[in-house]
Structure 1
Amino acid sequence: MASRPVRHLISLDDLTDEDLRHLIERGAAFSANTASAGTAGPGRPLDGLVTGIYFAKTSTRTRTAFSAGALRLGGGVVTYGPGDLQLNTGETSEDTGRVLSRMLDVLVARTAGDPAEMRAWARQGGMAVINAMSADEHPTQALADLTTLLRHFGRVEGLRVLYVGEGNNTAAALALALSRFPGVEFELRTPPGYGLTAPVLEKATRQAARSGAVLRELHTMDGLPGGFDVVYTTRWQTTGTSKPDPRWRDVFAPFQVRAELWEGSPKAVFMHDLPAHRGEEVTAEVLDGPTSIAFDQAENKMHSAMAVLEWCRAS
């Protein structure tokens, strides 16, 4: 195995403020290089390293982003689908991690379950572990989102961001990331009973108090202020989850993102982590309209993935 430093990204809590800023700035640099020159920039920091891509749940953007990113950085890639590992035949997760850590330099994993499994793999030694989505947090999505904000606005500080929809793992990661930046106002409008978890809300609120950000969560669309720079939503049915209330769509219906939201925020851009269901969480008019940067955001998943891969195994 290569004798290079190993860093893990299982939660945004694993990052210092300096690490977080470095990753989004590096992702933005990769994005800018690609836009101007059609390349990812000089160097092959993953040369001689092998990245495993294990997705127990479906993925289009994140799986492709890390696979393409590793290849563009000069590394090799081994991919595993949900039925490929001996976990399905009774091998323990610990034994699987012990084996993979002797053959891989990086493991990018989506389990949509408890991140404790990834923590166990990270203890095995020389293999960096990257959380490509767990049940409680989607840290690499937040990095892509902040990379997109930095590319579009030239800053993260001082932005006013409105999030509309379920307080899912994407919302959790956004709250934990944006609350570290001074002057940010992050307002969440989440359906009753579907907000951020108490631990995430408490942690993000503490971070906001420390950094000078403002975090609010309300469970109604009434009394919505204007002047937002960003309107963000996610699909209502998150990967690998279901809702116990058979009438949950009635609860979510008022939280659909429609063009009317731009009456109070005419300069706002629209963001969505995709995939999108037009006519549910967002109208086609918004998603496909001139304010939408959702597909730039999707492309930036690759650029931010490259930043994370480089950071995890850079010499």
Structure 2
Amino acid sequence: MLDRSTPVRHLLSLNDVSDEELYAIVDRSHAYARGAVPMNRPLADRVVATYFRTTSTRTRTAFSAGALRLGAQLVAYGPGDLQENTGEETGDTGRILGLMLDALVARTSAEAAELRSIASWNTMSVINAMTEDEHPTQAVTDLSAMLTTLGRLDGLRVLYVGEGNNTAAALSLALPRYHGTELYVRTPPGYGLPQPALQRAGEYATAHQALIEERHDMDDLPDDVDVVYTTRWQTTGTVKHDPDWMTSFEPFRVDDVLMKRFPSAVFMHDLPAHRGQEVDADVLDGDRSVAFRQAEHKLYGAMGVLEWCLAGLPPANRAATR
């Protein structure tokens, strides 16, 4: 039988982890990015599976490579591989997989409730690699990249421009848990953050003397920020119901004019990018863009998450995040 002596940990939503647990995951990811962690294969003899119903370049590769680098064995499922496609209930699929695997990294086109059904048996770790409502491992990546690039998280000021999608929701549930941070969210009308995420983010901000502000125009921007962040307007797996939606998004493009307002800011993008839509090529490929270094942090974020779920992590060194 598989060893079930250690508690099962899931990462389904950032709301499910404490501040200390989030700090520990980000701290470990940052340590991997700096090369400060010896590769002693902490997940040897573990089996990690990936299950992606929708396309993925960075997240799937990061978790696959990360699991292998940490010593785990890897099983990969494509969208047509499991018996869900013949009508098996999701909970039954999860129950069976949990008898054989140590972790399942899953990307679905549904809300996180589906992953909770799989995780409810508590026999394997379930990691949300993106659902319709949240992309928690992207937020881990983003915080690790910000920490590596800017040297701190406490007090950072971030301007997020574009759709209030699952990446934006995850960022709003993570950044305000660091002391004194400021997150300015600017989205087109009708495309804002999900209300539950915005409300919870406000609670985190209050607890940590941070700020989250959402508006649906590009007026009254902050005087200065450390990061300008956008995502592509056509989020994976979603469809805009307004045929003229791009007109609403046009004012929210990140271009050189916007970046010149914040001369000390770096530019971030979770990729893939559509040059000429959400961001101009001169910005994405310019000297202030860290988008591709940010993408590299997908690997380090995946390793931090996997190690937290399957091997446990010591408390974070909070001095490293200040």
Shorter-chain TM range is over 0.9
Q: Percent identity?
A: 59
Give the Å deviation of 1:184. 0.5
Structure 2 residue aligned with 1:131: 128
Aligned residues: 310
TM-superposed CA distance for 1:225, in Å, is 2.6
**Superposition pairs of residues 76-91 of structure 1, within 5 angstroms:** 76-91=73-88
Q: Distance in 2 between matches of 1:30 and 1:2?
A: 27
Matches within 5 A, 1:246-257: 246-257=243-254
Q: Residues 25-44 of structure 1: matches in 2 within 5 Å?
A: 25-33=27-35, 41-44=38-41
Whole-Å separation in 1 of the counterparts to 2:49 and 2:190: 37
Work out whether 1:204 is the aligned partner of 2:206.
Answer: no
Structure 1 length as normaliser, TM-score? 0.96
Partner of 1:297: 294
Higher mean alpha-carbon deviation, 198-207 vs 269-278, is at 198-207
In 1: Cα distance, 2:52 partner to 2:217 partner:
35
Partner of 1:37: none
Name the structure 1 match of 2:232. 235
Does structure 1 residue 9 correspond to structure 2 residue 6? no
Instruction: Give the alignment's TM-score, normalised by structure 2.
Output: 0.94
Counterpart CA distance in 2 for 1:151 and 1:275 is 21
Give the C-alpha shift of residue 43 in structure 1.
1.0
CA RMSD of aligned residues (A): 1.1
SS of the residue aligned with 1:179? helix
Name the amino acid aligned to 1:288.
Answer: D
Supply the distance in 1 between the matched residues of 2:225 and 2:184 (Cα, whole angstroms): 9
Runs of at least 5 residues in structure 1 that lack an aligned partner in the other structure: 35-39
Q: Shift in Å at residue 213 of structure 1?
A: 0.3
Please give the alpha-carbon distance, in whole angstroms, between the structure 1 residues aligned to 2:190 and 2:275: 23
The Cα shift of 1:95 comes to 1.2
1:220 to 2:222 alignment: no
Which of 160, 168, 171 matches 2:168?
171
Paired position in structure 2 for 1:18: 20
Structure 2 stretches of 5 or more lacking a match? 313-322
Match of 2:49 among 38, 48, 52: 52
List structure 1 segments (4+ residues) > 4 angstroms apart after TM superposition.
none
Give, as a single letter, the amino acid of the residue that structure 2 aligns with 1:78.
V
CA apart distance, 1:296: 0.7
C-alpha deviations, 1:135-191, integer Å up to 9, x for none? 110000000000001111121110110000000000000001011111101001100
